[in-house]
């Protein structure tokens, strides 16, 4: 069963400041979730964290352009939602907060947790929607850089 429930989606939608169907809204979140779950099938990434990341990471954006604090806001918001709309252990929650807080920074570290790598790849694989083709060099997981997987995710991102 998914950790993403209808009450959680209702809460996210009701507070979302942007167009629900635009580039940082629900269709993007759904594709990030799919990308993340497909990658998580092939490694040991935590599926609950991947799903929560997909639906939370852009949920506190205030605009569709330059908004460098939106990841930090998402991490804070996750704290407000925890135990009201989902439950997760402390280790998983720390991973979720880290993944949200830092997802839009360009820094790439080699000792990232596999769950964080999976979250960030899942998001990056959906860049086609804003006219960017994800480069394998900017991806972390083995699955994400597989040519066919990358091509299929890019195809989905253009729809
Ligand atoms: Fe995103």
Domain 6-157, architecture per CATH: Orthogonal Bundle (1.10)
- pLDDT value of residue 1: 85
- pLDDT value of residue 117: 97
Give the helix, strand, coil percentages of the chain, each rounded to 5: 55, 0, 45
Contact (Cβ atoms closer than 8 angstroms) between residue 139 and residue 124:
yes
Task: Average the pLDDT over 108-132 and give the result.
Answer: 93
User: CA-to-CA distance for 131 and 50, rounded, in angstroms?
Assistant: 24
CA separation, residue 43 to residues 30, 92, 102, 123 (Å): 20, 16, 21, 17
| Distance from Cα 126 to the centre of ligand 1, integer Å | 8
| Distance from Cα 56 to the centre of ligand 1, integer Å | 9
| Distance from Cα 83 to the centre of ligand 1, integer Å | 24
- pLDDT value of residue 29: 98
- pLDDT value of residue 108: 64
User: CA-to-CA distance for 55 and 26, rounded, in angstroms?
Assistant: 8
């Amino acid at each position: 069963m998914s950790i993403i429930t209808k009450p959680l989606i209702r809460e996210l939608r009701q507070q979302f400041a942007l167009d629900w169907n635009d580039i940082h809204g629900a269709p993007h979140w759904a594709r990030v979730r799919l990308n993340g779950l497909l990658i998580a099938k092939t490694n040991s990434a935590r599926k609950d964290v991947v799903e929560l990341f997909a639906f939370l990471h852009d949920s506190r954006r205030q605009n569709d352009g330059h908004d460098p604090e939106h990841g930090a806001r998402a991490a804070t918001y996750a704290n407000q939602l925890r135990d009201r709309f989902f439950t997760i252990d402390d280790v998983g929650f720390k991973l979720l907060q880290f993944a949200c807080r830092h997802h839009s920074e360009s820094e790439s570290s080699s000792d990232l947790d596999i769950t964080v790598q999976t979250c960030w790849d899942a998001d990056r694989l959906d860049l086609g929607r804003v006219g960017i083709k994800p480069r394998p060099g900017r991806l972390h997981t083995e699955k994400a850089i597989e040519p066919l997987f990358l091509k299929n995710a890019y195809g989905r991102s253009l729809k």
